[in-house]
Amino acid sequence: MKTETKLLIADDWDDYALLDSGQMMKLERFGSQTVIRPDPQAFWEPAKPVASWRADARFTSRNNDEEGAGQWEVLSPNARDAWPMQWNGLTFNARRTAFRHMGLFQEHSVHWRFAQDQIRGAGRPIKVLNLFGYTGMMSLACAAAGADVLHLDASPKSNGYGKENQALSGLDDRPIRWIADDAMKFVARERRRGNRYDAIVLDPPKFGRGPKNETWRFEENLTDLLNQVQALLSDEPLFVILTAYAVRLSYLALSQTLADRLLPLGGVMETGEMALPQLGKDRLLPTAIYARWRAAD
């Protein structure tokens, strides 16, 4: 298996921009709305003083834990609870949530585009399993490229938002199954059923709960999940994408753990960090680590 280290920069947006960052804060534009959010990686000095930043809303919490809850302070009469955005022909709603998230993870556009390129270049029908799928941007991207998608998330609310995004994008006629379930239980059942997939995407949180209060802990459960995922791959697998946030792991640990399961397949393993470019400044804001495998060309 060939290994490549890459820094993936999400620089393919018109509707999103990182306007400024520093002093553990960031100023961002999501479509028509501008927000201020904490970011524990932005140690540097901002281009302009944080006190001078102007936004429609600001998120505050007791600490800078990326998974911690908090509250939004509305700063402008133009602030909206939800509003439309676009990326590469897809239309979806952004929204302010109680856990500082915005209804999408914009840095993942690097994986959405990769998945679309792989699916369109395959020249055959592709089945995709999207685990921890949140509000469905990866599922929409894969379906728009022609794949048959099974989207799984523990939150029925997130799946509901995903279905809304599917309709907004004009993809109601595309095959996406939206399932609310615990990821570990679901993949075990899929294995027993003999179902298999050509591509699998995993974006697990550091900690989470399933719909029946099942517990997910990244460091404890990832290896077991990857063992199940390995068994769900088809005879001609196309790609596997794995991302991680807010965990004490190097991208080397992530990629080597995934490679343990995929080594017999050959192909190419890409690994490294994901980042957002700051507008008008030679600066990148790191967001996550990743490992993604693809079949040999």
| Sign of the torsion angle spanned by Cα atoms 140, 142, 144, 147 | negative
**What's the CA gap between 60 and 45, in Å, rounded?**
20
Q: What pLDDT band is residue 85 in, cutting at 50, 70 and 90?
A: very high
pLDDT tens digits along 274-293: 999 999 989 999 999 999 99
Which of 204, 295, 184, 189 shows the shortest CA–CA distance to 247?
A: 204
Q: Is the pLDDT of residue 38 over 80?
A: yes
Q: What pLDDT band is residue 63 in, cutting at 50, 70 and 90?
A: low
> Which CATH architecture group holds 2-8+105-294?
3-Layer(aba) Sandwich (3.40)
Domain edges within the chain: 2-8+105-294, 13-95
Pairing of strands 127-131, 199-202: parallel
pLDDT number for residue 64: 56
Q: CA dist 152 to 17, 67, 91, 194, 223, Å?
A: 29, 20, 20, 18, 19
pLDDT number for residue 118: 98
pLDDT tens digits along 114-172: 999 999 999 999 999 999 999 999 999 999 999 999 999 999 999 999 999 999 999 99
Instruction: Please identify which residue in the block is written with the tokens 């507008």.
Output: 279
User: What fold, for 13-95?
Assistant: Immunoglobulin-like (2.60.40)
Amino acid identity at 137:
M
Q: What pLDDT band is residue 28 in, cutting at 50, 70 and 90?
A: very high
Q: What pLDDT band is residue 244 in, cutting at 50, 70 and 90?
A: very high
Q: What pLDDT band is residue 246 in, cutting at 50, 70 and 90?
A: confident
Q: Alpha helices, DSSP H only, in the chain?
A: 109-122, 137-144, 156-168, 183-193, 218-232, 251-262
Q: Is the pLDDT of residue 218 over 90?
A: no
Q: CA dist 231 to 125, 154, 159, 200, 253, Å?
A: 20, 22, 25, 11, 21
